[in-house]
Amino acid sequence: MTTMALRAGKQTWALVAKDLLVEWRSKEVFSAMVLYVAVVLVIYNFAFEFRRDTVAVLAPGVLWSAVIFAGLLGLGRTFAAEQDQGTLDALLLCPVDRGLIFVGKLLASLLFMLLVQAITVPVFVTLFDVRLSLPALVPLVVLGSLGFAVLGTLFAAMATHTRAREMLLPLLLLPLVVPVVIAGVRGTQVLISGEGSLAVWLNLLAGFDLIFLGVVYALFEYVLEG
Amino acid sequence: MTSTWAVEAANLGRAFDEAWAIRDLDLRIPAGQRVLLLGPNGSGKTTLLRLLATLLRPTSGSLRLCGFDPLRQGNEVRGRIGLMAHRPLLYESLTAEENLGFYSRMYEVPSPQARSTALLRLVGLEDRAHLRVRALSRGQQQRLALARALLHDPPLLLLDEPDTGLDEEGLAVLGRVLSEEGRTVVMATHQAERGLAWADRVLVLRGGRLSEDRLLRPESAMSRSGAVASEATP
């Protein structure tokens, strides 16, 4: 059992490290995500007149819409890049469980999203002049991004085999991640306003993540194989 | 587990949107046999190779590869298969060495560094090991693809028009690999003349069905595998 887990861990890490190295070399996805987030935050900052009494209501929506749509950019390339190079076939030829391919891709996508958010949050706090506890925001952002990345990885794999994959991914994904967006926005509102319970939203996100991790891990084999 | 048969297909079929690419295929390939797969475009050669590579699920019939059921024992099968396709199946932004290193970890190749170095030498790319794949010529990429397919020393090697884009040096390397004893090879190609030089058996597909199955060197296939020669239809 331990040997199997060790083997699975090594293969998963090989997948993640490969994706990170490929992205480090090309900077194709990361730079697009960061640029998108920066543009969205700047535009919203000029478009709305944020006051002390409205910032707690409006700013969380701005942050999470930037996070979600930047995440879509990244997730869209997760399998599309493999498909375009033909390396998806080579991955599927490897003697590894499809669940491990899912976990590897999920972790790589999650890392990209969290890296982008490490840049986004300080810019957001500065531009919108919000006061919130950054350590308290971390679990909210991590759990929210995980839920988004779990479903996003599944639908990115499904969309890979279709012609209109760029259109299909948001159509499939966005309706299902509504609970993540709501919990993220409401949790951030709690952090900015200091009113209400953050635990409720963290629990909702954790429950969502656990359920969909199990479901997607079990389904992934059927999604990937032709 | 060693099986007498590398491939056992019974009534195998694969349809795409109700159009059958492979239909009613009965085929047994003994371990160690070298099979040349011929047929016009659209005859089902690539679909058959993708079925044998476990990249497609059969729509009908049954399939066993190296003694395993690919639907229930996928990892056991995949660990015994090497595929070289039209496209090199390599990461363009990684170097030749990094590509082989990544696949070595996925296949759990023992001594991956030594194996990668040996294969790069075999395909004549040892001086290109640190170049990114996109900097290699088409022929060099195909040679690296051959190295990738051989990385885990698979007993069943599937080649889908491997000679596409290969230069003379690459073709010589391919010829050496194909002439190695003990490995089952199924190769689809349009270069029938070249393929006939090494094949033990020729299969011809037309319209997704096996239209011809001819043993060219029954004694060599039998001596390599120790198996009875497959039933060849004239």
Model pLDDT for residues A28-57, shown as the tens digit of each residue: 888 999 999 999 999 998 888 777 778 888
Closest chain A residue by Cα to residue B51: A226
Name the one residue in this structure whose structure tokens are 């004549």: B124
Chain B nearest C-alpha distance from A45 (Å) = 38
Number of neighbours of residue A134 by Cβ within 10 angstroms: 11
Residue A25 with chain B: CB contacts under 8 Å:
93-94, 132
Question: Which residue in the set B75, B92, B93 is minimally distant from A95, CB to CB?
Answer: B75
Residue B229: the pLDDT is 40
The reported pTM is: 0.88
**Are the Cβ atoms of B83 and A226 closer than 8 angstroms?**
no
With contacts defined as CB-CB under 8 Å, which chain B residues touch A22?
A: 91, 93-94
B75 part of contact set with chain A, CB < 8 Å: yes
Amino acid found at B205? L
Paired strand residues for B47: none
Lowest mean pLDDT among A25-34, A89-98, B119-128, B225-234: B225-234
Instruction: Identify the band that residue B103 occupies on the pLDDT scale cut at 50, 70 and 90.
Output: very high
In this complex, do A89 and B89 lie within 8 Å of one another by their Cβ atoms?
A: yes
* pLDDT computed for residue B227 by the predictor: 45
**pLDDT of amino acid B135:** 96
What ipTM was predicted for this assembly?
Answer: 0.88
CA distances B61 to B23, B26, B192, Å, are 9, 9, 29
Cα(A102)–Cα(B135) distance, rounded to whole angstroms?
Answer: 30
> How far from chain centre, in Å, is Cα A50?
27
Residue A27 touches chain B, beta carbons under 8 Å: no
Q: Show the low-confidence residues of chain A (pLDDT under 50).
A: none
Tokens 């239809």 sit on residue: B233
Predicted confidence (pLDDT) at residue B44 exceeds the cutoff of 90: yes
Residue B45 has pLDDT above 50, yes or no: yes
| Cβ neighbours of A226 in B, within 8 Å | 50, 55-57
Strand spans (E) along chain B: 5-16, 19-30, 34-38, 60-65, 81-84, 156-160, 184-188, 201-206, 209-215
Taking CB atoms and an 8 Å limit, are A14 and B102 in contact across chains?
Answer: yes
Q: What is the pLDDT of residue B219?
A: 62
- Closest Cα in chain A, distance from residue B78 (Å): 5
Contact B52, B217 (CB under 8 A): no
- pLDDT-derived band at B169 (thresholds 50, 70, 90) equals confident
Which residues have CB under 8 Å from A13's CB, separation 6+? none
What the block records as the tokens of A64 is 């999470």
Instruction: Quote the pLDDT of residue B228.
Output: 40
Judge whether residue B79 has pLDDT over 70.
yes
Whole-number pLDDT of residue A66: 93
Relative orientation angle of helices A55-85 and A134-160, to the nearest 10 degrees: 40
Q: CB distance A97–B75 less than 8 Å?
A: yes
Most A-contacting residue of B93, B95, B138 (CB-CB within 10 A), to test interface: B93
Residue B226 pLDDT more than 50?
no
Neighbours of A13 (CB within 10 A): 13
Residue B106 to residue A85, Cβ atoms within 8 A: no
- Residues A90, B56: C-beta atoms closer than 8 Å: no
Pick from A22, A93, A225: CB nearest B83: A93
Find the angle CA(A86)-CA(A88)-CA(A91) to the nearest 5 degrees: 125
Tell me which of B17, B49, B95, B102 to substitute to probe the interface with A (most A C-beta atoms closer than 10 Å).
B102
